Chains A and B, each alone.
Chain A
């Protein structure tokens, strides 16, 4: 997927003027949030969340050890682990494997990390027919759009839009019935599933103790992709592993509740190795590709490390006032919402995505609801600090000299009572010509604010002055 993170401001305006999208964003996140709250009731929310945070924090801390253990167990189960430093290595491996095995048709389960490395595009380019089989992903593949939401990639599209799209791309009759549309997608994909010789999926949770991978879904398409084709490739970021099976089950409970407000999804596949003798289904070969792609760099930075605890439930988008206003496309790349505002800059380079970590009110709703303990608010602030110092590791470019000087003067004024008081006087004198009826008509930098909001004038005297005068009079 080609990043457009530089165009944040433009994309924000464009998406905010889309009435359908705005209406949808007013309805669907609050609804999901309600379902989420209700689904947590049987679990004991606070304790369950705390346990989830601890599991993910421990797992990420012990990542190097857990990954090695995972590889050992996976190998014992008869599957192969392939390490990929970046997207190119991962794609190259999967392409050469497909070629070697003579694969022609690939069915794909939903995987954000595959979007991150443009795996589908790479497969298609090398002549392998590739189909997204998750309904939402199938829709955006046909529509050639990026995912609108981490969990619901096409949640913003209306039935009419999808009907038109299907009619044009797969020749299905037009309909206003969403279920019928699902049926057409199913019909179209059935034949692909039956003839596919390569199945590609992501991984929701990997278990170091047993070498198992968990795949979580509602449609059955992942089950089909992992049991029909003779080769199954599961792609995961290095951060997906947890220590024990029990830990994985707990994270599963949090994942389905945070994602969809469901106690459990319709399908949960736990895969241990390829088909064994005497088993009826499953692939002949299973490869688990473990991708770094910048993650070990994040791991090495203590301030940023908790971003790897993310389990991609998408709940932070659902509670974010910015996401609710600008929508998922505005984040310009694979990941959207608060986790997108953190991961997109970290994976693409801070300089290419600076609006993402500045366009936030730091309200902390994401932190409050994150089931995996990602300190999104703290990381957003840290990215700003990394920008200020021009951090090379994460591709930051320092702000303009003018901006830096402005900040520097400001900090000086806060370091001296004398300068602070002088500044207070200067602000009053300089803005005096622009005061009308107790309001400021102009202030540098505030023209945007003043389009929709009044700004009061500086109080004639500061609290400092008034309080001092009061004490003198006594």
Chain B
């Protein structure tokens, strides 16, 4: 496998670096040589969501210049990959040259579990994780990218891990980036529902693939002193001993 570039989304870079290292650990275990370009910042999704097309367009071009030489671009976030895959095309639609380059990058961008299953053909990573878990289908992974079987398959094959159903797993957790900041009282009601379904599930760990959902749901749990953990799927796949971050 050559030319794999790792993109670490800004929320993980800033708040949750351990998830980045979990991804590194999994890739190394699978023998994937990858590069991490130190020039990378953010995909520009917050700008797209804020309506700043001009700013997002500049960030998109920079992202494309950094990543276009790689055969695969892998990130542990569905919403960032969706930004690269879909929004860049929209932003650069009027610029044929850049549109072509965006198309190339779009074809090569993969959400982490999608890359493991679809590209590497991995069925199980090989680390152990003891516990009962359920899986939350983050909106951008499930609907925007259409990925659902891949993460579930990987989780089902983790030794020691018992996967149980989560009610309304496909319903949004109420994060929505700037939405949770600007309309916190609405967002709070939606995350409460998600947390309730998690508490009702036969599981101690809520697994998901999106750092935004993770901050939202974990933040609600810890604030209310509730039991249960929220983990990024990379952390589970990287096994119980975890990673040094």
Residues in chain A within 8 A of chain B (CB atoms): 9, 12-13, 16, 321-322, 325-326, 358-365, 367-368, 378, 381, 383-389, 407-408, 410-411, 413-417, 420, 424, 427, 439, 445-446, 448-449, 451-456, 458-459, 461-464, 466-468
Contacts and interface: CB of A to CB of B under 8 A. Distances in A.
Contacts of B52: 385, 388, 407-408, 411
Interface of B: 8, 12-17, 20-21, 24, 36, 38-42, 44, 46-53, 55-56, 58-59, 62, 90, 139-140, 143-144, 170-172, 174-192, 215-216, 218-220, 222-224, 245
B184 A448 contact: yes
23 contacts: A16-B185, A325-B190, A358-B178, A361-B187, A364-B143, A365-B171, A368-B143, A381-B49, A407-B47, A407-B52, A407-B55, A411-B44, A411-B47, A414-B47, A415-B41, A420-B41, A424-B14, A453-B219, A456-B15, A456-B16, A463-B12, A463-B20, A464-B38
Contact of A413 (B40, B41, B181): B41
Given A414-B47, A453-B220, 17 more contacts: A12-B183, A321-B172, A361-B139, A361-B172, A361-B176, A364-B140, A384-B50, A407-B50, A408-B52, A411-B52, A411-B56, A415-B59, A416-B41, A417-B38, A446-B181, A448-B181, A464-B38
Contacts of B38: 417, 464, 468
A453 B213 CA distance: 12
Nearest to A428: B14
A325 B186 contact: yes
B139 A364 contact: yes
The secondary structure that dominates the B interface is: helix
A358 B8 CA distance: 27
Contacts of B20: 463, 467
A466 B184 contact: no
Contact of B16 (A9, A413, A420, A459): A459
A463 B17 contact: yes
The secondary structure that dominates the A interface is: helix
- Residue of B51, B175, B191 with most partner-chain A CB within 10 A: B51
A463 B38 CA distance: 10
Contacts of B21: 463, 466
A411 B55 contact: yes
B187 to A, nearest CB: 8
A331 to B, nearest CB: 13
Contacts of A385: 51-53
Nearest to B51: A384
- Residue of B14, B44, B170, B171 with most partner-chain A CB within 10 A: B14
B53 A388 contact: yes
Nearest to A26: B193
A426 to B, nearest CB: 12
A368 B190 CA distance: 19
B51 A386 contact: yes
Nearest to B16: A459
A415 B62 contact: yes
Contacts of B175: 361
Contacts of B215: 455-456
Nearest to B9: A463
A363 B50 CA distance: 15
Contacts of A365: 139, 143, 170-172
Contact of A462 (B13, B50, B139, B189): B13
B14 A362 contact: no
A388 B54 CA distance: 10
Contact of A464 (B13, B15, B224): B13
A463 B187 CA distance: 28
A363 B177 CA distance: 11
Contact of B58 (A358, A364, A411, A452): A411
Nearest to B190: A321
A322 B186 contact: yes
B47 A462 contact: no
A367 B183 contact: no
